[in-house]
Structure 1
Amino acid sequence: MIDKIKAHIEEVAAFTADDLQAVEAFRIQYLGKKGLLNDFFAAFKTVPNEEKKAYGQAINELKTAATEKVNGLKEALTDKAADAGKYGDLTRPAESVSLGARHPISIVKNQIIDIFSRIGFNVSEGPEIEDDWHNFTALNLPEYHPARDMQDTFFIQTDPDILLRTHTSSVQVRYMENNQPPIRTISPGRVYRNEAISARSHCFFHQVEGLYIDKDVSFADLKQTLQFFTTEMFGKSEIRLRPSYFPFTEPSAEVDVYWGLETETDYRITKGTGWLEIMGCGMVDPNVLSNCGIDPNEYSGFAFGMGIDRIAMLLYGIPDIRLLSENDVRFLEQFKSAL
């Protein structure tokens, strides 16, 4: 008799059901008024005295197993039914998930990094909160230098030595302080200037500045590097360099790319000349090299810098720089197909 009960215990453990009706039939079979458990209890009086203890334990084990099985199946099937009622048919294909898009600033920055990485430039980064030495003095802009007026600056609290960086040239200073030539690096990042916000200017924007320091670096190397960049970035290889002034480079130049005059937009953005200014550049001033612990008699180099925001506006025809920082979903969704 005990062996028969144990066989039922194994059957209970193996039982499963897909609906509540089958569970109810199982409950009646074992736990109902005319179920198997009642039959086993009724047979208790016929069991020899020496077997009564083991027999009673077996019956209780079967009852516990059957009860737990019924309760567990009922709970699982009830939860499944509730989910189906809440979400419908769970086997249906799900609705498509709305994918995000890269910001145009990120798209353009990644393109610039990719182009320069192909010719050996690595990426260097630095703090946005800078000190006067790295942002100005080391770059040949000592205190009271008139060129400081070219960059309206945000200072931190009342400390005139701590400020929000006005360019990523400060990253180049830090890189030169900690690395010996040959140096070939670009420094992308956000910069800040105390300017009025309008469709064409903002108090913060993004730059990429490049630096190459080695023996016998010439202006010809600079020109060829920039020509490679404009060809890869814009598909236009004709550039010109106009004399300019930057405190940290000598000689210095503005770089124009020939954009063409094929459309009305071309006439507008180039002011009818076909030429478009895209960046500044020059040979690194020997004073800057000395300030950073590099011997200017042994090494020379060039530097360049461009605005990521301006290039993004140019490539995507964005009319207002403020759109790049307003997080308007309608604007950002236009770039879902971009890299």
Structure 2
Amino acid sequence: MTKLLFRTNRAIAIQVLSRYKSNAAPQTLTTVRIKDKDHITDEYTNVTPKILSYLGRNLHLQKGNPLSIVRQRIVEYFYRRFTHRGKPTFSVYDNLSPVVSTKQNFDDLLIPNDHPSRLKSDCYYINKDTLLRAHMTAHQTELLRSGLDNFLMIGDVYRRDEIDSTHFPVFHQVDAVRSQRKEELFCDKPDLEIFEPEFDSSNPNAFKNSIMDPMKQSCHTLEATKLMESQLKNHLIGLCKALFGENIKHRWVEAYFPFTHPSWELEIYYENKWLEVLGCGIVRNEILANIGPNNSIAYAFGLGLERLAMAMYKIPDIRLMWSTDSGFLNQFQIENINANITYKPVSVYPQCTNDISFWLPETLTVDTFTNNDFYDLVRDVGGDIIEQVKLKDKFIHPKTKKHSLCYSIVYRHLERTLTQAEVNKIHKQIENAVVKNYNVVIR
């Protein structure tokens, strides 16, 4: 697959950033350029220059990055577990473009129009029809439509979120699909069927599939569902043992995802607590029916590389994944990807914490103000020295009825000590930006 490179046009980046530095209305923006392509902006556009700067970094492919090591171990497990005539049956797609349509990211996966994952507060939209993918599952339909049966999708995904040591607006996922036809699933029991007798696979529109039964989809037989569930769970438990050791304790938790049913989450008991490591389930038959001949059943799963790497290598801060410091990266320059590694801090630098409080304009309240908008603004101004932003207090004045918010911003550089003077300078820039962008009054 052709390697895609991304860059942000500086003039466009300045234009996008103008939302934080002037009172210009969003409609004054015209385009955002990504990989030499101009995307028309509109009222949905909320992608920032800082987020665009992460495009093309591909940490999961960089030698010596812990995310790349975990990726290699997962791929190796599936290559070893699934072979046909000596060749791996799983294909790997790890350089797909992160720019996707809302159809790919939501509609093709049966995500309802009113689902909260579609909100501007959760996603980075380029415009109302295009966004930076929120999950690798966004590529599932296109790969199935191309005729693939078993594949891994690996890459960076983008979600607006809180700021702390375990959350970052860009992280990396592995998603997978394994589909089987009747002759593959029931190779030794040809009398069994994937679909219920009343389901006509040649005309699936005549049968409205239901997920009311917690055990299975109405179109599938119980035997097919249970066999797929057994395979899925065995394969994923095997993966966890390959990563965390043969004696790792685990448990399954029932879950809900719009694109699978039934669905589960897998948790492992690690470092004296239960840690969720992945979500999975039986792919909704409607998804398979929408892409062509409907003669198979499939399972799918998704997991986050950062969560696994931080647990496996005892990495305390997610921002370290982006570090270019040789003291960090050299710890992961290994020949044996299965080697036991425990991250050793290069050095520990002190935090600086400043609070920011402001009165909201009459058009906003403490409940309608979007925290993720504020987090993006702080990150754009402060960059990667922002370790955490936390809503500290909401206040409504008893007499004036004015609404006020207070946030604590924690600053820390990963490679040197910050002085309070330089933190105060950046903090002042954040104050000025929030005043200009939201018309607030600093308290």
Give the TM bin, normalised by the shorter chain. Answer: 0.5 to 0.7
2:67 alignment partner in structure 1:
105
Using the alignment, how far apart are the partners of 1:233 and 1:113 within structure 2? 12
1:207-242 Cα shifts (integer Å, max 9, x gaps): 001111112461111111112111212113543211
Report the Cα distance in structure 2 between the residues aligned to 1:326 and 1:105, rounded to whole angstroms: 12
State the match for 1:242 in structure 2: 253
Contact 2:64–2:334 at 8 Å: present in 1 too?
no
Q: Offset at 1:319?
A: 0.5
Are 2:99 and 2:133, in contact at CA under 8 Å, matched by a contact in 1? Answer: yes
> Are residues 294 and 277 of structure 1, via their aligned partners in 2, closer, same or farther at CA, if it must alter by over 3 Å?
farther
Q: Which residue of 1 aligns with 2:283?
A: 284
Moved >4 Å (runs of 4+):
none
Query: Kindly tell me: are residues 202 and 146 of structure 1, through their superposed partners in 2, closer, same or farther at Cα, counting changes over 3 Å?
Result: closer
Which residue is equivalent to 2:44?
none
- The structural deviation recorded for 1:316 is 0.6
Give the residue type in structure 2 aligned to 1:250.
Answer: H
The answer to whether the Cα contact below 8 Å between 1:227 and 1:238 also exists between their aligned partners in 2 is no
Write the distance in 2 (CA, Å) between the matches of 1:163 and 1:333. Answer: 35
Q: In 2, are the aligned partners of 1:129 and 1:165 still within 8 Å (CA)?
A: yes
C-alpha spacing 1:195/1:294, structure 2 compared with 1 (3 Å)? farther
CA deviation after TM superposition for structure 1 residue 175, in Å: 0.5
Q: Is the 8 A contact 1:132 1:161 kept in 2?
A: yes
Unpaired segments ≥5 residues, structure 1: 1-99, 260-265
1:118 partner SS? helix
| Structure 1 residues 151 and 188, CA gap change in structure 2 (3 angstroms) | farther
Say whether 1:204 aligns with 2:170.
Answer: yes
In structure 2, the residue corresponding to 1:198 is in which secondary structure? Answer: coil
Q: Give the equivalent residue in structure 2 for 1:251.
A: 262
1:134-175 deviations in whole A, cap 9, x for unaligned?
11100011433345359811011xx21110000110122110
Match of 2:92 in 1: 123
Distance 1:214 1:101, change over 3 A: closer
Superposition map of 1:1-339 within 5 A: 102-120=64-82, 121-125=90-94, 126-146=96-116, 148-149=118-119, 152-156=122-126, 159-179=127-147, 183-215=149-181, 216=185, 218-236=228-246, 238-259=249-270, 266-267=271-272, 270=273, 275-295=274-294, 298-337=295-334, 339=337
1:232 is matched by which residue type in structure 2? Answer: A
Q: Distance in 1 between matches of 2:293 and 2:309?
A: 35
State the Cα RMSD in Å: 2.1
Q: Which amino acid aligns with 1:144?
A: D
Call closer, same or farther: CA 1:131–1:336 in 2, change over 3 Å.
same
| Contact 2:279–2:303 (CA under 8 A) maintained in structure 1 | yes
Q: Which residue of 2 aligns with 1:3?
A: none
1:286 positional shift: 1.3
Q: Which amino acid aligns with 1:276?
A: L
3-state SS of 2:81 partner:
coil
Amino acid at match of 2:306: D
- The question of whether the paired residues in 2 share the 8 Å contact of 1:240 and 1:256 is answered with yes
For 2:231, what is the secondary structure of its paired residue?
helix
How much does 1:133 deviate? 1.2
Q: TM-score, normalised by structure 1?
A: 0.61
Q: 1:322 to 1:185 in 2, by over 3 A?
A: same
Q: Residues of 2 paired with 1:240 and 1:207: CA distance?
A: 21
Aligned-partner SS, 2:155: strand
2:173 aligns to what SS in structure 1? strand
Inter-CA distance 326–197: structure 2 relative to 1 (3 Å threshold)? farther
The aligned amino acid for 1:306 is: L
Letter in 2 for 1:153: C
* Alpha-carbon spacing, 1:282–1:161, altered in 2? closer, same or farther (3 Å): same
SS of aligned partner of 1:332: helix
Q: Which SS does the other structure have where 1:114 is aligned?
A: helix
Mapped to 2, the partners of 1:294 and 1:150 lie a distance apart of: 35
TM superposition shift of 1:107 = 0.9
CA deviation map 1:15-71 (0-9, x unaligned):
xxxxxxxxxxxxxxxxxxxxxxxxxxxxxxxxxxxxxxxxxxxxxxxxxxxxxxxxx
How far has the Cα of 1:255 moved from its partner?
A: 0.3
How far off its partner does 1:315 sit? 0.7
- For the 8 Å contact 2:257–2:263, the answer to whether it is kept is yes
Larger mean Cα displacement after TM superposition, 237-246 or 299-308: 237-246
- Work out the percentage of aligned pairs sharing the same amino acid: 35
